[in-house]
């Protein structure tokens, strides 16, 4: 499994906006990627603070992902590289769990990200783009996040801010 991420941790708003995918663009990206021999599964997660694309497949999958995402958005890959975080294998799995649990959010433990992860995964499942590996990893990450939110006080903090980007 691999992940290409553009988030609040490394990229300014104008760069994050360039890689924000509308529903139509998500469908197009999933289509393009699922037609690549090196890619067997895709999940596209977009929030007001991040755009992340998780793919499973061969070692060539991450290169295909980077090229297709840049091409679809009409951005030179060279312009984006310095803002991308790329995770592979265990680091991609670890990153997914941190994201789903709210540990990688601007506000530690915020609840909304779990729903956004669930929606992105569900969209890929319904599109036929979530293969066995992504199914297992996303289900386990969501189960871990739910348990953390249920069994700890992490999510008991009051809502800290209003996001001007997404209105929530």
Structure tokens at 95: 């990153």
Indicate if 46 belongs to the active site. Answer: no
Structure tokens at 116: 């956004």
The Cα 32–Cα 44 span in angstroms is: 13
Residues 84, 2 contacting (CB under 8 angstroms): no
State the catalytic residue, choosing from 3, 46, 48, 101: 48
Residues 99, 2 contacting (CB under 8 angstroms): no
Residue with tokens 């969209």: 123
The Cα 162–Cα 160 span in angstroms is: 7
The Cα 119–Cα 40 span in angstroms is: 20
| Cα–Cα–Cα angle for 21, 8, 154, rounded to 5 degrees | 105
Active-site residue set? 48
């Amino acid at each position: 499994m691999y992940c290409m991420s553009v988030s609040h941790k490394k990229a300014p708003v104008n760069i994050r906006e360039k890689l924000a995918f509308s529903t139509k663009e998500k469908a197009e990206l999933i289509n393009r990627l699922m037609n690549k021999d090196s890619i067997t599964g895709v999940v596209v997660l977009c929030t007001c603070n991040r755009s992340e694309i998780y793919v499973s497949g061969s070692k060539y999958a991450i290169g295909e992902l980077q090229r297709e995402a840049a091409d679809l958005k009409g951005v030179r890959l060279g312009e984006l590289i310095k803002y991308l975080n790329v995770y592979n294998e265990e680091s991609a799995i670890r990153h997914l769990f941190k994201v789903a649990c709210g540990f990688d959010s601007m506000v530690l433990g915020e609840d909304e990200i779990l729903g956004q992860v669930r929606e992105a995964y569900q969209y890929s499942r319904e599109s036929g783009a979530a293969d066995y590996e992504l199914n297992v990893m996303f289900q386990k990450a969501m189960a871990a996040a739910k348990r953390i939110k249920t069994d700890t006080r992490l999510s008991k903090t009051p809502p800290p801010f209003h996001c001007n980007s997404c209105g929530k």
